[in-house]
Structure formats: structure tokens, C-alpha cells
Amino acid sequence: MDQAYDFRRAARASHNDMHEGAPEAQSDNSIEASKHFDFLVIGSGVAGLRYALAVAKFGSVAIVTKSEPQESNTMYAQGGVSAVLDPADSVESHIRDTIVAGAFLCDEETVEVVCREGPERVRELIAWGALFDQSEDGQLHLAREGGHSHHRIVHAADMTGREIERALLTAVRTNPSISMFEHHVAVDLLTLQDGATVVCYGVDTLDMKKQKVVRFIGGVTMLASGGAGHVYPTTTNPLVATGDGVALAQRAHAVVSNMEFVQFHPTALADEGLPIKPEKRENAFLITEAMRGAGGILYNQSMERFMPLYDSRGELAPRDMVARSIDDQLKKRKEKFVYLDISHKPRDEILAHFPNIAAECLKYGLDITKEPIPVVPAAHYMCGGVQTGLLGDTSIEGLFAAGEVTCTGLHGANRLASNSLLEALVFAQRAVEPSVAYAFQMGGKKAEVEKVENECQHLVVAMDLKEDELKEVLCFTELQRKRLQHIMWDYVGIIRSTERLKVAQRKLSELEAEWKDHLVRNGWKQRMVSLEVCEMRNLISVANLVVSSALVRQESRGLHYTTDFPMLVESARLPTILFPSSSMNTWSSKLVHRMEVETR
């Protein structure tokens, strides 16, 4: 009898025991009975799907996803997955490129693990049915992007994320051990604290379709909820990217790190520069890094090439340098966008490699084979997040994490292009073995599960509010959300200063107080939930973490550039680690040299 079968038999017994011992659901018809699974996955991007497929061999799996399953940052990733697959390339070269791009703040052990295991993870994607571009000789076509010294980007034209999501979702949907719960918003992790130890037993969610609160209990919870791009007004991220995972983990007492390093992609499509102006977008349209890797040139509006003035690598410099260079050009010239030009390349080549970008631009009257593309930086990726070890483990027992929600140490102060999908794949796999072992261990802890059921208060949908009260709460929340986003862009953007960060901190504090007061005055109770209120709470948490971390780092490194400390300081080559304080609602942010700052 193989080990997998032994575990599944034990897991089924544990699963049945938990159902038999669980209390009945409350009489409130907005609350459903708890659902029990061996593995819970929050998020349906590449990290969550890859993990779910692996652990499904050992027990029942629930994937809880905020919107449609495909609506994740993965779906919008254009460039590809970086991996050493060319004999002329080397793992050592990939390691070096990653560390240089990360401004030497990367965890070197993590970098080596990811770069060495990357090729095998790509081969697994192909085995699952992912179709990547091939050269004429039938080998994978490997592109090159900024910061990379070799061609090592596996891609599917300029829609790589969409292809990976398609392949993994197809495999998930045909797996009988995996259940998908769409339109379920993760509200709070279910945890119990014993001294310094916090243990996670699952998550409370809001079923948006039924407007009911649903509690999920699991042996292991995998946090794979993606990023937080919508903490800024312009982002390449989809609407679901509101920092939910980091905020959930923060409230549950997880250690968080490197939140000051927010990556602004240098080249999002600048709608103002298009011949036909699009209607308002929910997220900015990304112009992939691969276009610069394929020979795209950046010009200001006088058609003067400017990147060589800032960096000897020109357009192939890492993203932090390119974004700052564009920002400098825009401010000096008082312009709102620059141009990225690929039109000097053969038409067939452009259309073969960038069909999605070409089609999108053509919708608004721009032919990229003949004209330059107007571009501007936009919030793109969080290099910081929930701190994890090499096995995806967090500081909370029973909680693992993978993907953009994490800080593994791979990216350091700036992510190397196309390392994000790679990181998600590697850590989703590395978390499998310890997850299975922990879930097996939890199978015998029926009493603890019952304690969670009995002691964790149930949330309620905001149905008791009068219609005008609810409308007022949601309208004010939307206004405050926009205000928060503009505070972050105006004071915590690409170029920062201590004074402006302190102004942001004060304004965020005032905003939060005003928002909470408005909710209370309109009848909102602490246990009430709605999508809009949950997202706003999470955005406030993430914004405060970014600002507090940025104030602590008194140097300029990678994505964090401050005019008060413009130089890189070798003694500050340390991660910013945000430890939970003794109070569950108060946090202290510190570098290893113990500078502290309070944050909510």
C-alpha cells in the first residue's frame, strides 16, 4: 500500500470526524455551515493552482478565489518564465543577474534554490499542457528581457500568463479532489494563539453570489492571493489585487518584510497618448519588458533617446532604473508620457512576438509596426510580503504562502523580469511535502478544530443596515479608496522623501479615522462584512506597511529611492522585517539594527 493511499485514508477519517464533531451552523440565514477540507488554497493564480494540483494527491482541496478563477495577476503576465534552458546559459549567470537586479538585498540561498529548480518547473508546465513558443528548430524560443545577460525567457507570444493559467485551470477542473469556490472573498484567517505560537485553522469568507458568510476549516491553509497594485491609482493589476493576503496575515500575527519595495513597471500603455482615447480602464494595459528585450527604444516626446544618459545598459537596464529614468524625463520636460518604439523591426516579427499588444493598440488607432507606443510607469508588483522560509512556511503554524503575496528573499530590492512566475512555481512545489506532513498531523487534533469552531465569532453580512445607510457607507468607502490611492501616488511613488512619507503617514491615519467613524455613525458593526469594506481595510493595512517600511530604510536601494538618502549604504544591506508586537492590533517595524516605528 503506497504512502499516498495511507494518507488519503487517514485524511478521510479525519475529515469525517471533523464533520461529526462540528457544531451546527448559527440560525442566522446569512451564515452557511462550515466546510472542511484537508487543504485550503486562497487564490487561483499560478501559485495556488500549482500547489492545489500537487496536494490533491493526498487529500481534499478547496480553492477559494475572489472572482472568476482566471482573474489573477498571472492572467495578465505577458513576458514569461525565466529559466536556464539554453546550453550557452548557466544557473550561475541567472543567480548573478537576479542578485544584481535586486540591489544585492536578495537572500542568496533562496536565489540559488529558485534558479536551480526553475527548469524542472517549466518542464512540468509543458507536461500539464502549457504551449510555449518554439523556434524553427522545434526548441523553445527563449527571449531576453531587461537585467538578463542571456536569452532565458520561456513565453507564449505576449500572453504567457494567460497560457499558463489556461493549462493549470484545465488540469484543476478535471481533478475530482479539488473543489473551486468562485466569488468567495477571504475576510480573516481563523487562528488561535498559545503564548508566542499562532496556529491557523482556516479562513472566513464572504460568498458574493449568495451574500452569505462561509467558514472553511482545513488542515493546512495556503495563502496565494497575489499582490496589492490597487493601493495606487494606476496599476497593471486586475481589480482583485487589493493586498488581501498580506493584510489577512498581518492581522493574524504573521511576520511581514520588505514592504517598501513596490515595483512600478516602466511601460504601461499611456492612454492619453493614443489617437483614440479608451474609456476608463480598471487596470492599465501592460507593455511587456520583452519589447525592450527585442530591441524596443525609449524616446521622449522630442524623439530623443534618453536611457543611455542614465544607464550604460540602456533599455536593458533593470526596471527600477528604467522607471526612475522615465519619471525624471516626465518631470523635467513636464510631459505625461514617453514613447517606446519597436517599429524599426520587421512587421512580421513584431506581430509574431507581440500580437496582443498590437491588437490592443490598433483598437485605439495606433499601429505599432509603424508608430511608437506612448508609455508611462504604473504600479506593478510587490517585492515585499508575508515572510516565508525555503519551504513556503510562514511564522504562523499551518499557514503556508507562495507567489506575490510573499517575501521569500528572491527579489531583494527589485524583481528581475520574469522571475515572479518562476518563484511562484518553485515555492508552490516546495511547500507540498511539509504541507502534507502538517495536514496528516492535524488529522488527529479534533479537539483543537472544535475549539476554533466554538471560539471564533461568526461574521455577518451587512443586511441589518437600512438601504440608505448601506448606500452611504459604500459611497463614502469608494471616495476614501480613491483618496488613499492618490495619497500613495503623490507621496509614496517612484521618488520619495522623508517629509513626504511622514505627510503620507499622517494623511493615512486621518483617512482611516474618518472612514471608521463614518461607518460607525451609519450603523456599521465590527462583525459586519462587505466586499468594499473588506478591500478598504486591507488597502489601509498595506498602505501603512509600505509607508512605515519606507521611513525605516534610510538609504536608496533598488525600488526605494529617497532624496534625503540618495546613496546606497552597505551597512543597511538588510531586509526590513515587521514583527508583530504584543498587541494583536499594533505592529512594530524594524530593520535588523532595531529602528522601530508604529503602524496599524
CATH of the domain at 529: 1.20.58.100
**Domain co-membership, 156 together with 52:** no
- Would 107 be classed as within a structural domain? yes
Q: In the chain, what percentage of residues exceed pLDDT 70? A: 91
Annotate 441-461 with b (16+ C-beta within 10 A) or e (fewer).
Answer: ebbeeeeebeebbeebeebbb
Question: What's the predicted TM-score (pTM) here?
Answer: 0.90
Strands 576-580 and 338-341: unpaired
Active site residue 324: no
| Residue 525 sits in the same domain as residue 587 | yes
Q: How far apart are CA 366 and CA 260, in angstroms?
A: 36
Can you give the pLDDT at residue 581?
A: 66
Same-domain check for residues 530 and 403: no
**Whether residues 242 and 366 fall in one domain:** no
Q: What is the pLDDT of residue 558?
A: 95
| Residue 317 covered by a domain | yes
- The answer to whether the beta carbons of residues 264 and 377 sit under 8 Å apart is yes
- Identify whether residues 471 and 583 lie together within a single domain: yes
Is 13 contained in some domain? no
Q: Say yes or no: 479 and 589 in one domain.
A: yes
> Catalytic residue among 144, 251, 319, 537, which?
319
**What is d(CA 308, CA 300) in angstroms, rounded to the nearest whole number?**
13
| Residue at 14 is within a domain | no
Within this chain, do residues 219 and 242 fall inside the same structural domain, yes or no? yes
Please indicate, yes or no, whether residues 469 and 572 belong to a single structural domain of this protein.
yes
Looking at residue 447, its pLDDT comes to 72
Q: Which helix (H) or strand (E) holds 327?
A: helix 319-333
Q: Within this chain, do residues 412 and 503 fall inside the same structural domain, yes or no?
A: no
Domain boundary among 164, 194, 228: 164
Q: Among 335, 350, 377, which residue terminates a domain?
A: 377
Secondary structure percentages of the chain, helix, strand, coil, to 5: 40, 20, 40
Residue with cell 493549462: 167
Structural domain includes residue 239: yes
413 and 319: one domain?
no
User: Does 16 fall in a domain?
Assistant: no
CATH number of 218's domain:
3.50.50.60
Take residue 459 and report the three cell numbers written for it: 461574521
Task: Taking each helix axis as running N to C, give the angle between helix 108-127 and helix 420-430, from 0 to 180 degrees, rounded to the nearest 10.
Answer: 90
Cα dihedral value 497, 500, 505, 511, nearest 10: -150
Structure confidence by residue, pLDDT tens digits, 314-351: 999 988 999 999 999 999 999 999 999 999 999 999 99
Shared-domain flag, residues 447 and 503: no
Final residue of a structural domain among 426, 455, 484: 455
Residue 308 falls inside a structural domain: yes
pLDDT < 70: residue spans in the chain = 1-31, 444, 446, 581-600
The CA-atom distances, in angstroms, between 13 and each of 49, 451, 517 are: 25, 19, 48
Which range marks the domain in which residue 594 is found? 460-599
Q: Kindly state whether residues 138 and 282 are assigned to the same domain.
A: no
Q: How many helices (H) and strands (E) does the chain have?
A: 17, 22
- Structurally, how many domains does the chain consist of? 4
Asked whether residue 593 is domain-assigned, the answer is yes
The Cα 251–Cα 378 span in angstroms is 28
Specify the pLDDT at position 33: 79
How far apart CA 243 and CA 229 sit, in angstroms, is: 8
Predicted local distance difference test score (pLDDT) of residue 452: 75
